[in-house]
Amino acid sequence: MRILVKGAGVAGLTVAHELYARGAEVTVFETSRNFSRAASWLAGGMLAPWCERESADAAVLERGRDAADRWEAILPGRIVRNGTLVLAPNRDRQELRRFADRTTGYRWVDEHEIATLEPSLAGRFRHGLFFPQEAHLNPREVLHSLRDDLSAKGVIFADGIADDGEFADIVDCTGAARIRLSRELRGVRGEMLYLQTQEIALSRPVRLLHPRFPVYIVPRGDGLFMVGATMIETEFGGAITARSLMELLNAAYALHPAFADAAVVETGAGVRPAFPDNLPRVMQEGKTILINGLYRHGFLLAPAMAAEAASLIFSRYDSNRNRPCA
Ligand SMILES: Cc1cc2nc3c(=O)[nH]c(=O)nc-3n(C[C@H](O)[C@H](O)[C@H](O)COP(=O)(O)OP(=O)(O)OC[C@H]3O[C@@H](n4cnc5c(N)ncnc54)[C@H](O)[C@@H]3O)c2cc1C
């Protein structure tokens, strides 16, 4: 059974992994090198379904609650399971209450526990919410590791021209590239930056609530921090704007003033493909299965969507095999 996967972002790589694991012969076709056009490259890597429930449908929590287990099965040892800390400036405590009202799976933490969880933040915040079941991963490490792992197992990675006719099935995971082909898909721009400083150490994602501009900071180790992300209703993928850069830097500074002296080592902007309900879909068009609309939950939900797509493909084979002869 030969299957072509188009797109090597998180959706493409996880479905390639799932199809290979179920015994298919898989080729992955990607038009750009080194993930340079993948939204996945810019992601925070938070597996945070309880926090996301603040603004997301209940289905995101249902489908995403076992994401860390799914990733652990795909790439053992790459998932950090030490929760998410949600904070707000002391004057904005109502933002924490509002967040708490819309979520579950947390406990309130005081200044003392915040300092125990994140010593660098000692004395800076009086109250917070701690979501102990959440996890995170480093998207760039995961994308490289998964591609290398699949390649070592015999999955072919092609970057020339793919001939669809050679394959029994095609799985389209081309993300934002499908926006122009689909009336329902839209783009939601996410801008982010990387800061580097040895003055602060964090061990888990920290979200800073703000009425106008909530942000998160995800530690990558060695003093590197990913700061994200804007949510702008446009499919424009160009460079980060001065306004967004200022807002992200202001928020990082509000979390800890030592970020003022950090080096800005990278900025970027990606386009999150989204359907009107902001939920991802597995769809079928002829012999093509599409996985798209992962919105801000690509790492959280891609393993579950990959399993759903693989089941759909294999069920077609099973029903063809069981069909009585005419
Ligand atoms: C700033 C930011 C932060 C985020 N943080 C998180 C987070 O913390 N947690 C989380 O779960 N999600 C997060 N997301 C969302 C997540 O990144 C996306 O949902 C996810 O990357 C979408 O994955 P994808 O594989 O569908 O698309 P992409 O990663 O965009 O991959 C699509 C690939 O298809 C390729 N392609 C395009 N056209 C073709 C073609 N014709 N043939 C072959 N290949 C093609 C592209 O080059 C690209 O490599 C974040 C997103 C952004 C922008």
- Residue 119 phi, psi (nearest 5): -55, -30
Cα(174) to centroid of ligand 1, in Å?
8
Percent of the chain residues past pLDDT 90, beyond the cut: 90
Q: Which of 299, 300, 301 to mutate to test the pocket of ligand 1 (most atoms within 8 A of CB)?
A: 299
User: Measuring from atom 50 of ligand 1, which residue has the nearest CA?
Assistant: 43
Cα(162) to centroid of ligand 1, in Å?
20
Question: Is pLDDT above 60 for 231?
Answer: yes
Q: Where are the domains of the chain?
A: 1-80+136-180+276-326, 84-132+186-274
Q: Please state which CATH number belongs to domain 84-132+186-274.
A: 3.30.9.10
Cα(297) to centroid of ligand 1, in Å?
10
Q: Is the distance from CB of 272 to CB of 190 less than 8 angstroms?
A: yes
Atom of ligand 1 nearest to the CA of 44: 8
Cα(123) to centroid of ligand 1, in Å?
38
Same fold for the domain at 1-80+136-180+276-326 and the one at 84-132+186-274?
A: no
Is any atom of ligand 1 closer than 6 Å to the C-beta of 229? Answer: yes
The arithmetic mean of pLDDT across residues 191-214, rounded, is: 94
pLDDT at 322: 53
> Other C-beta atoms within 10 Å of 95: how many?
18
Question: Is pLDDT above 90 for 180?
Answer: yes
Average pLDDT, the chain: 95
Q: Is the distance from CB of 49 to CB of 83 less than 8 angstroms?
A: no
Q: Please state which CATH number belongs to domain 1-80+136-180+276-326.
A: 3.40.50.720
Q: 303-315, pLDDT tens digit by residue? A: 999 999 999 999 9
pLDDT at 325: 38
The arithmetic mean of pLDDT across residues 103-120, rounded, is: 98
Question: Is pLDDT above 80 for 162?
Answer: no
- Residue 131 phi, psi (nearest 5): -105, 90
Query: What is the maximum span of the chain, computed from C-alpha positions, in angstroms?
Result: 77
